[in-house]
Amino acid sequence: MKKLLLFSACLFVGVIVYWAQQRWQTVPLALPKPPTEAVPTNTTLPWWEMQIENAVENKEWRLAADYTSRKAAYHRSVNELNQAETLDALSRQYADNDTDKLPLVSSAEPVASPSSYATLEAFVSAPTTAAAQPAKFEPVTGVYLGMLGADKRVGFNWKQIEPVYGRTHAMYLTYVGWRKVQTQTNSYFPVQQAENAKAMGGSLQIGWEPRYGLDDVQDDEYVRTFAKEAKASGIPVFLRYASEMNGAWVPWYGEPAKYIEKFRLIHKIMKEEAPNVVMVWSPNFMPRDSIHDYYPGDEYVDWIGYSLYATGGPQSAVNDKSGFLDSFRPLYDAYPGKPIMISESGVSHFNLVKNVSYERWAENQLGDLYAYLPRLYPRVKAITYFNFSKDRAVRSNMDTVYDLGENAFADRIYQRLIQSDLYLSEVKDNANTKESITYKPLAQASNLQGKRKLFTYVSMPFSEQPFAVSYSQAGKSLGVSHELPWEIEVDFSKLDRSQPITITAFNRSMEKIVEQQTQVPQ
């Protein structure tokens, strides 16, 4: 009897266990409750994956290999070594497919550097307010996005800019020769270009060039008609009258006093005839020693404009920080209170004379221009890219190629960075970004509460960039960024004010390049 009872009990337990196993196999286990604050979504990884897919489809093998290597490095950073190894092998396979063996100038992977060669500086977001007396069409926050559109894909058809580059631009650059008649519209002002820009909700930036010299600039029928036609366009017009006057390559160079006289004359006429015209005083960033000699005075200048180019590739000195971020400071500080536009900017990725590609250097320079520059210099309110095709560069006897579409690395980084909320697609009074923030050095901030954006300016030799930047406090991770400007969101209300933030830059092998501790402001 006892054996029968024991057998029955065992059978009962067995049935219960079997039923439970079957139920567990068909009903999902309940997931643990998510933390109070969800981990931010990594948007970089899906972007890389999309670029790899597009690159393979278009047989852009160097890009496919490089982005696959980045993805492998990411998996290595989170200790997913099998995935990393598989991706490394795939990256090598893509590289072997590359038949376009361009001579490349590329340095080795960044390694640990002396602090004098590689430095980190943290910046934090802060709410902003409009200037007390904003200039014409000066945005409260944000940067107007502009382009020339002379590249091989757009070919001056500005309607192609959005489908090609993935975002509507706010400003379209064109040039007008002095006393030139626009034959399409029988006008002095570029009416057709203005209508094209207006149809897209955009504005014009005009390089108005007194090609016959300053003596030919008079208060006459030509200038008055140009001004009236500008007003009739009904759109914002950023007028770069006689730009790059500090360069010997233009016929209006060399007579600063006469230049100032003529600039003031044009300002007077535009003020009388065309209130929608913004007077932009726009020297070249080089040579610098004579720039201020041509300045007409604050009351005659609405915006400051600079032509700002990165050419020549990385330099040879180990402590070289080629590019324009650090050298831009004196230009930025020279005219306080004025909004600044980068009225022309280009990054060379290919040297036609040497037949050498600087594609990775160019990628980093574009990162400096579109990720760093307007964050480090918040009065920069517009950037126009001089997108000029290789064929046109050859015909113009230029040494360098700026066309984004001629190089996959430049193309992708541009498309990625201009998606930021920082960039504006429409010129209007009191234009603003959704977040309405600006940035200041963390060391200069105070009373930080709540969630803020935190990014790090990484300055390295040869204008290189790390693979990732991490933030931690007392051994606890605050976040990791895998793309410029190395930005994360931090809740400062939850930080320990007595403990510094540790910022670490890594290369693709996840080796430390440089590390720095920054105190949390009280």
The closest alpha carbon to 118, from 478, 462, 471, belongs to 462
Q: Is 406 a catalytic site residue?
A: no
φ, ψ dihedrals at 246, nearest 5°: -85, 5
The pLDDT value given to residue 115: 54
φ, ψ dihedrals at 501, nearest 5°: -90, 130
The pLDDT value given to residue 439: 96
The pLDDT value given to residue 325: 84
Please check whether residue 240 is in contact with residue 274, taking contact to mean a CB–CB distance below 8 angstroms.
no
> Catalytic pick from 209, 344, 483, 487?
344
The pLDDT value given to residue 437: 94
Name the maximum alpha-carbon separation found in the chain.
Answer: 124
DSSP letters spanning 228-260: HHHHHH-S-EEEEET--TTSTTSTT-S-HHHHH
> Catalytic pick from 60, 138, 244, 464?
244
The pLDDT value given to residue 118: 85
Q: Is 244 a catalytic site residue?
A: yes
Helix, strand, or coil here: 462?
helix
State whether the Cα torsion 508-511-513-518 is positive or negative: positive
Segments of the chain with pLDDT less than 50: 1-38, 104, 106-108
Distance CA 273, CA 155 (A): 32
Distance CA 88, CA 71 (A): 9
The closest alpha carbon to 158, from 149, 166, 167, belongs to 149
The pLDDT value given to residue 138: 97
Distance CA 375, CA 371 (A): 7
Please check whether residue 229 is in contact with residue 187, taking contact to mean a CB–CB distance below 8 angstroms.
yes
The tokens describing 350, both together, are 């290919």
Classify residue 86 by burial, with Cβ atoms within 10 Å: 0-12, 13-18, 19+: middle
Task: Give the pLDDT confidence of 352-380 residue by residue, as tens digits.
Answer: 999 999 899 999 999 999 999 999 999 99
Task: Give the pLDDT confidence of 77-124 residue by residue, as tens digits.
Answer: 999 999 999 999 999 999 999 887 655 454 446 655 555 578 999 999
* E strands in 389-511: 400-401, 423-424, 437-441, 451-459, 468-473, 476-481, 488-491, 501-506
Distance CA 295, CA 278 (A): 16
DSSP letters spanning 138-168: --SSSEEEEE--BSTTTTT-GGGHHHHHSS-
